[in-house]
Amino acid sequence: MKTALLSVSNKEGIVDFAKQLSDRGFRILSSGGTQRELAASGVEVLAVSDLTGFPECFDGRVKTLHPAVHAGILAKRELPEHMKKLAQLGIDTIDLVAVNLYPFKEAISGNGATLEEAIENIDIGGPAMLRSAAKNYGDVIALVDPSDYTGVIKELDAGGPSRAFRLKLAAKVFRHVAHYDSIIASHLSGLCGESLTEKINITIEKVQDLRYGENPHQRAALYRYPLSYPLGGYVQIQGKELSFNNLTDAGAAMELLREFTSNTALITLKHTNPCGVGLADTTLEAWKKAYGCDRVSVFGGIVATNGTVDSELAGELKNVFLEVIMAPVFTSRALEILSTKKNIRILKIDPVFKCNEYDFKSIPGGMVVQGRDNAMLGEGLRIVTAKKPDEREMEDMLFAWKVVKHVKSNAIVLARQGQTLGIGPGQTSRIWALENAIRQSNYDLKGAVMASDGFFPFQDCVEAAAKAGIGAIIQPGGSIKDEDSIEAADRLGLSLVFTGMRHFKH
């Protein structure tokens, strides 16, 4: 007679599965709550403690950690010496192991979980049994997912399971256990305040397959971090399925939007670069500012705001080809208006959603890992020219500085009165980025300010800014030729502010 060991925290489908196994000649072995539920449902079940002759102890911490369990799982049936040893020890083989683990992730998902509560939800015996079963997959069916119960019954009825099917289940077990352990390691490391440790366990869960990646010939899927809800800080409430590029752009929009917590802000964005940003008393006025910066590039892009999308704003947005609209609040009339554009994805967002702590970038053979660029301006801010910026110019520079941080390098942002007037992204030369921002602008730039994500290696940017009418510049400083830029600014009557902080973005 074959033996199935069932010990699950998720009881979904376990009674029916046990009954079907019994009908197919399996003896059912179980422990704890699973044993009680099976017995109460009329399943003939043997307690693990009866098999081992060793009682459960230490509040259930030790139940299945016993040689009589693991020997029965790990013995290789094709090796006579293994089977002889089992017989000498009086141990039967265990041919199917169905286990799912203590809900550690769920235990720590709430804000009130103590370290002691988390520790008590670390499963020890479950992973040990699963690993043993998966290691000996040629002889043992290893199950960690209730959705596989039906498939196993079908395989048994067809004379299997086949070795290939068993291997697939074993691989799933090892993925699951590794995922489980990495959540524990990450949580405990976080409690210790450790960062950039010698080993980083990245564990993510598949949400769905995507139609394709950045391009139609690339396969793609969406994954999430285990404790990240809602995914990306938003919930889709209307429109067609999000694409790979939509998801990437939405993430970039969320990161930029988080810069503005005390103002009504609206951004337009395409290919992760902002096309325009506006601050105003209303979302409609913020839209006019952002859209006015670049009416061309936003075509097929994203609009995101931390304010309300009402009927007035929706009426404006429906006349522009947009892929995604993001906001914390949509009025019912706004949703009705936007529903006439079936392809627009509508995302309800949490504007203060906490983004991931680390930034991972794939390189051939590995990854580079860095903390998020979340640093705030502090004591490093200093005025280095004879001319001092007035209060309005300083406000504009700080606004432009927040925006330029989210533009691909080399990056330049021109701004005035809570509005970007021109954005020059992603140039290999800083002067080219400035020239693009000036050329792209639809506005008279007299009295505008300029932000640069990196220092000026030459004075040409200061001279070009002055020629365009720009009155104040904010940049990191730190070039060996800073004095050339300061001299040019003094000569041309500009204010120049150094931040002591760079914001490269690749």
Locate CATH 3.40.140.20 in the chain.
241-348, 382-498
Instruction: Determine the Cα–Cα distance for residues 54 and 453; give it in Å rounded to an integer.
Output: 67
179 is catalytic: no
Q: What is the per-residue pLDDT for 111?
A: 67
Q: What is the per-residue pLDDT for 153?
A: 97
Q: Domain 2-192 maps to which CATH number in 3.40.50.1380, 3.40.50.720, 3.40.50.1970, 3.60.15.10?
A: 3.40.50.1380
Quick check: helix, strand or coil at residue 323?
A: strand
Q: Decide if pLDDT at 281 tops 90.
A: yes
Residue by residue, what is the 3-state secondary structure of 221-250?
A: EEEECCCCCCHHHEEEEECCCCCHHHHHHH
Question: Mean pLDDT highest for which of 47-61, 81-95, 406-420?
Answer: 406-420
Instruction: Determine if residue 162 is left, alpha or beta; phi over 0 gives left, psi from -120 to 50 gives alpha, anything else beta.
Output: beta
Catalytic choice (2, 11, 82, 271): 271
Residue scoring higher pLDDT (398 or 123): 398
The pLDDT mean for the chain works out to: 92
Q: What is the pLDDT of residues 435-471, one digit of tens each?
A: 999 999 989 999 999 999 999 999 999 999 999 999 9
Confidence of residue 300 (pLDDT cuts 50, 70, 90): very high
Residue scoring higher pLDDT (355 or 483): 483
Catalytic choice (19, 66, 135, 348): 135
Between 106-115, 144-153, 453-462, the lowest mean confidence (pLDDT) is in: 106-115
Q: What is the pLDDT of residues 213-260, one digit of tens each?
A: 999 999 999 998 877 666 778 899 999 999 999 999 999 999 999 999
Q: What is the per-residue pLDDT for 287?
A: 98
271 is catalytic: yes
Locate CATH 3.40.50.1380 in the chain.
2-192
Strands annotated E in 352-419 = 358-363, 366-371, 382-383, 412-415
CATH level 3 topology of 382-498: Cytidine Deaminase; domain 2 (3.40.140)
Instruction: Determine the Cα–Cα distance for residues 269 and 265; give it in Å rounded to an integer.
Output: 13
Q: What is the per-residue pLDDT for 356?
A: 78
CATH placement of domain 241-348: 3.40.140.20
Mean pLDDT of 310-317: 98
Mean pLDDT of 104-118: 81
Contact of 422 with 404, CB cutoff 8 Å: no
